[in-house]
Structure formats: C-alpha cells, structure tokens
Amino acid sequence: MENKFYTRTVNILLTLFLSTSIFASDNKILTNYRLHGIKNIEKALDKSLTETTYWKEYLKNKDTKFGYIESYTNILLCDKSKSELLIYSKDSNNTYKLRKEYSAFTGKLKGDKRKEGDLKTPIGVYDIIKKISKVDSFYGPMAFVTSYPNLYDRYEGKTGQGIWIHGLPTNQERDAFTKGCIAINNKSIECMNRNIDIKKTVLIIKENANDSTTPSKKTLSQLLSTLYAWRYAWLYNETENYLNFYAPEFKRYDGMDFKRFKKYKTRIFAKYESKTILFRNINIVTYPNMKSVYRITFDEEYKSNSFSFNGRKVLIVKLQDNKFNIITEK
C-alpha cells in the first residue's frame, strides 16, 4: 500500500514537472533532483503552487463566472428579488450555460435568515443533502433538502432547519410565499429532478441581482495561491506561517477557538512528521451578500506516520487587506 501511494505521488510530481515550462528549463531543479532525489523536486513544486503566476496562467481560459469550480456540473442560482430559480450546467467546453429557468416562491420576509421561524430564506452557498421522494402533499411530489444551517451559518450563530426546495400543494391552496424554503411548481421540480445530480450540484441563494457571484480571476489566483501557501506551511511544519493564515476570531466547527487551536497545532507540528497532503476537487464560491467572503471546499488526502485522513474539507475565508483569513473550517 505504501509503495503504491509513493508511486502515485511521484507520477503526479513528474507529470506536473514535465507540463510546467517554468521547470522544464530550470537546470537548478534538475541538478537538485540528480544529486538529492525526488524530495527536492517535490518541495520546489510545492513552492511553485504558492505563486500567483502559475494560477493566473492556469485560469486564463477557465469559466469563472461562479468562482473556481472543479467538481460541480450544475449551479442552482436563486435570486429572491426576482422570484426565480435558475439551473446552469457545464457544457462540453466546461462553460456554464443557463439551462432551465423556474419561477419560485421564497420566504415571506426579505433579508437573510437568522433564526427559526423568522420567515426568511437564507442567503448563502449550500449543498443539496438528499432528495425526499415521499413527502406530505403540501410539498408536491418531492423535496430536495439543503445544508442549511451550514458551517458559516453556525459560525454566525444562525438557527433553524428544514430549508428545502420543494413543489406546490397537490390538494390545497397555498400562500404566494414560504416560511423560508424555495418552492417551484410541480412540473418544474420534476424537470429539475431529471436535470441535476445532487452530488454534483451547488445552490447559491442571493437577495438580488446586485449580490455578485463573479469573483475576478485576479482574486481567484490570489485565493488559490494562498490556499497552497497554507498547505505548504502545513506540509513542511512551519508553525508560525501556518497559524498566520487564521483570523483571530477563528472558531472551528466544534467550537474550538483560535487560542486552543494554536496550542493544539503547535503540539502536533512539534513532532516534525513527514507528511503527504493532496487537494482535489477544489471549489471556490463567492458568498453572496458578504464582502470578500468565500467558501472553499476540496477533497483532502492526508497521510503521516501517526494519522491519515481522506475526506471533504470546508474553509470559510475572508480577504481583508489582501490577507487570507480562515474564520472557520471543518
């Protein structure tokens, strides 16, 4: 198992090495490899991923209207002010195109949801957790359960649950608003069911058209390069640099504040363990109605002598004065 993992890592590094012109002509890198082996190449490549020049070039022809997205094939965009729910799907050119447009009911009151029973539809970025095929007739033929309250909602102290995308009553009348859910007519929700894979779909809910969901490529380059700078500090046990990526007001998903988190990470980094950390399926989406707040998700593969992890990671990041600040993570 160990040999397979190492071989795969080497293959990734060599592929990146051969496909990146900045290294193809760098005799110092080749000399280091000749004299010291793959570890020197690995560290140099890890360092190069922290540079914005790489990411600016990489993003040049990418569709970034919703952010940097590797794993979502569908974007559900709800604009509360227009009472609409849109489906954007990735085409063969990896460009998001408007595919379906539905009229939608949302919460009775405007603004972001803060607590149970406030009759507001939340503003934010959500996953679709599951589909419920058998629901009360009031909700039409089916419902899609969202991840509200998500990591950022809980960090903000928001309460409530049961925010769904659902249909309309089949046997009764209803008001022209919801208690916080998103409701579309029954033909539309059946159409949506045919057109999305919930595991590859993200839901963005915004208050109005002025809540921009389009970050600049310059900003995305900065976020991606800083994400890998954070990884670099983590990978090479640079405790102080690593902790500098966290905001003083940081609070982890389980309530651990920055002071306790700092002690915890300092103790772990003091082991100076060699480790492998790989990120895949990275998605960076702008948080609507929030100034310079981004949700970053990715699949993380972590391996050291004392611990291994393979699963999903979520970071909520603020850009303040061009500084990357992690305010919560899971």
8 Å CB contact between 221 and 59? yes
Structure tokens at 310: 């393979």
Would you write out the chain's pLDDT as a tens digit for each of its 330 residues? 555 555 555 555 555 554 444 444 457 777 777 787 777 788 888 999 999 999 999 999 999 999 999 999 999 999 999 999 999 999 999 999 999 999 999 999 999 999 999 999 999 999 999 999 999 999 999 999 999 999 999 999 999 999 999 999 988 888 889 999 999 999 999 999 999 999 999 999 999 877 777 889 999 999 999 999 999 999 999 999 999 999 999 999 999 999 999 999 999 999 999 999 999 999 999 999 887 999 999 999 999 999 999 999 999 999 988 889 999 999
Please confirm, yes or no, whether 166 is among the known catalytic residues.
Answer: yes
Q: Residues, the chain, total?
A: 330
Catalytic residue among 36, 78, 181, 191: 181
Provide CB contacts within 8 A for 10, sequence distance 6+: 38
CA-based end-to-end distance of the chain: 27
* Domains (range + CATH), the chain: 1-48 (no CATH), 49-63+215-329 (3.10.450.50), 71-206 (2.40.440.10)
Please confirm, yes or no, whether 78 is among the known catalytic residues.
Answer: no
pTM above 0.85, yes or no: yes
DSSP SS3 for 133: coil
Provide CB contacts within 8 A for 106, sequence distance 6+: 78, 80, 83, 121, 177, 178, 181, 182, 183
Q: Which residue from 229, 202, 195, 219 is spatially nearest to 283, judged by alpha carbons?
A: 202
8 Å CB contact between 138 and 172? yes
